[in-house]
Amino acid sequence: MTPSTLSPEVKPRRLAAQPDVQLIFWLGGMLMLVACFLPWALLRPNRLAAGVYQNLPVAWMVLGAVLALAVPLSARVLPRIMPLLGGTALALGFYLLGARMTAAMLDQPEIARASASSGLWVWLLGAGIAVYGAGQIGLPERFWSWLAWLWLPVLIVLALTGQLAAWSVLRELDAQQARFLQEVGQHLKLVLTGLGLAVLIGAPLAVWVSRRPRAAEAVLGFANGIQTIPSLALLGLLIAPLGALANALPFLRQLGVSGIGTAPALTALTLYALLPVLRNGLVALRGVSPGALDAARGMGMTDNQRFWRVQLPLALPVWLSGIRQAAVLLVGVASIAQLIGAGGLGYFIFSGLQTAASDLILLGAIPAALLAIGVDALLRGLEVLLTRQWGRA
């Protein structure tokens, strides 16, 4: 095939020049293909008993295999439809999740559980990789790229119309709705408070040490040191000093400080977030063009004016990326806060682990993952907005 036989908007040369993108589609496609022949549902008489695996009906198997093969094959000739293809595959995965669970639960008693099995997860992984690959092509047309998000409205509609209700994880959610909302709230509270405190402490500290190289080394060393302590150990280490502190100072105890619960969890989260906030703050503040700073001084800005009008605005986008890293990190670390009684989505994860109820684990883990992605996207959007407005070249 010569380039001249292809229409120009197909951009074959661009794709041909990126064999790694082709590889992404092969990987995604092969995973999807394998997924078609794996079991998709596991039906158990109750949430703890052993169960029976169910495969996809043959018609869906064939359809899925065709779609799976279409991914790597059309990537070469029709790259422009790749976002649509990936989005459709992902949406199909969610639809099948609802449909297969509903089918499995047909004529089953209320306490039976239908959970998603390896086929579904592998399919979602493969389709997700295809969607990711579609984003890497660099299509010139916005519209076609947006089609990769097709899965999102489909998922929302499926969820809102109750199509997914038969899925075991949602059964668990249904049983513990109030608790779920409470723990999501607690999780958010831990993350936002920890992040807020880290910024409140870290930002002025970063500004202060950015002009003092020796202090900067010491402070970064301290923050680095904390980062090397495993999060579990840090929580444990805080029990004794905070407990002692609360015992020695009764007014602190009245404020809710104690060795276990929210206080040590928040302390640990704040300490963890401190490093990314500090390090990126330092890098950002020091990275501001020396020419701009010299010009600012030479034109008669005072030190304060120079900081607020030039250095800070120019450092902010880079700094925000550090805060974003910290936020994502905290969503993860907050999941183990339950170990010292601080609640959060870890509540479901650990009760699931204790009772070997995988649905319960997922009820904690999936929202935690979504929360991390959401926080990341939100702050990334803010970064892009600032960068675009301030046009850093």
Partner 1 sequence: MIELQHLEKKYVNETSGEIFYAVKDLSLVFPDGKITALLGPSGCGKTTTLRMINRLIEPTGGQILLDGQDIMAQRPEDLRRQIGYVIQQIGLFPHLSVVQNVATVPDLLGRPRAQTRERARELLELVGLEPGQFADKHPHELSGGQAQRVGVARALAADPPVLLMDEPFGALDPLARDKLQEAFLDIQRRLQKTIVLVTHDIDEALRLGDRVALLTGGELAQFGTPNDLVRHPESEFVRQFLGEDALLRQLAGLTAAQLAQPGDATGLPQISGTLNVRSALSVMLGQRSDALAVLDAHGQVQGVLTWQALEEAG
Rounded to a whole number of angstroms, the minimum distance from the CB of residue 386 to partner 1 is 9
Of 247 and 389, the one with the shorter C-beta distance to partner 1 is: 389
Q: Are 199 and 269 in contact (CB under 8 A)?
A: no
In the complex, the smallest distance separating the C-beta of residue 314 from partner 1, rounded to whole angstroms, is 6
Residue 291 identity (one-letter amino acid): G
Q: CA 43, 45, 50, 52 torsion: positive or negative?
A: negative
What element of type H or E holds 333? helix 312-333
Q: Does residue 390 belong to the site contacting partner 1 (CB under 8 A)?
A: yes
Nearer to partner 1, 136 or 389 (CB): 389
Shortest Å distance, C-beta 305 to partner 1: 7
Q: Residue 19 or 290: which CB sits closer to partner 1?
A: 290
Specify the stretch interacting with partner 1 by CB under 8 A; choose among 181-189, 195-203, 370-378, 383-391. 383-391
End-to-end CA, the chain: 40
Q: How many residues of this chain bind partner 1 (CB under 8 A)?
A: 24
Q: What b-and-e string marks burial along 87-119, b requiring 16 or more CB atoms within 10 Å of the CB?
A: bbbbbbbbbbbbbbbbbbbeeeeeebbbbbbeb
The interface with partner 1 within residues 261-320 (CB under 8 A) comprises: 289-302, 305, 309-310, 313-314
Residue 293 half-sphere exposure toward CB, CA atoms < 13 A: 15
255 binds partner 1 (CB under 8 A): no
Q: Which is nearer to partner 1, 355 or 389 (CB)?
A: 389
Which residues, 320 to 349, sit near partner 1 by CB under 8 A?
Answer: none
- Measured from the CB atom, the residue of 109 and 391 that comes closer to partner 1 is 391
Q: Any residues with CB less than 8 A from the CB of 30 and at least 6 apart, and which?
A: 68, 72, 126
Return the number of the residue (179 or 297) whose C-beta is nearest partner 1: 297
- Which residues, numbered 104-123, are part of the site for partner 1 (CB under 8 A)? none
- Rounded to a whole number of angstroms, the minimum distance from the CB of residue 176 to partner 1 is 48
CB under 8 Å, gap of 24 or more: what pairs does 37-40 form?
37/61, 37/119, 38/117, 38/118, 38/119, 38/122, 39/117, 39/118, 39/119, 40/96, 40/100, 40/116, 40/117, 40/119, 40/120, 40/123
Among 13, 211, 380, 392, binds partner 1 (CB under 8 A): 392
Closest approach of partner 1 to the CB of residue 253, in Å: 48
In Å, how far from its chain's centre is CA 272? 18
Q: Min. distance of Cβ 317 from partner 1 in angstroms?
A: 9
Q: Closest approach of Cβ 393 to partner 1, in Å?
A: 3
**Distance between CA atoms of residues 61 and 156, nearest Å:** 25
Output DSSP code: residue 55: P
Contact flag: residue 214 with partner 1 (CB under 8 A) = no
**By C-alpha distance, which of 246, 261, 226, 241 is closest to 339?**
261
Q: Which is nearer to partner 1, 316 or 379 (CB)?
A: 316
Q: Decide whether 13 or 392 has the Cβ nearer to partner 1.
A: 392
Judged by beta carbon, residue 97 or residue 315, the one nearer partner 1 is 315
- Bridge partners (DSSP) of residue 333 are none
How far apart CA 160 and CA 285 sit, in angstroms, is 46
Using DSSP's 3-state secondary structure scheme, residue 381 falls into: helix
Torsion of CA 366, 369, 371, 373, to 10 degrees: -140
Report in angstroms how near the CB of residue 294 gets to partner 1 at its nearest. Answer: 6
Q: Cβ 384 to partner 1, closest distance in Å?
A: 15
Q: Which stretches of the chain bind partner 1, using CB under 8 A?
A: 289-302, 305, 309-310, 313-314, 389-393
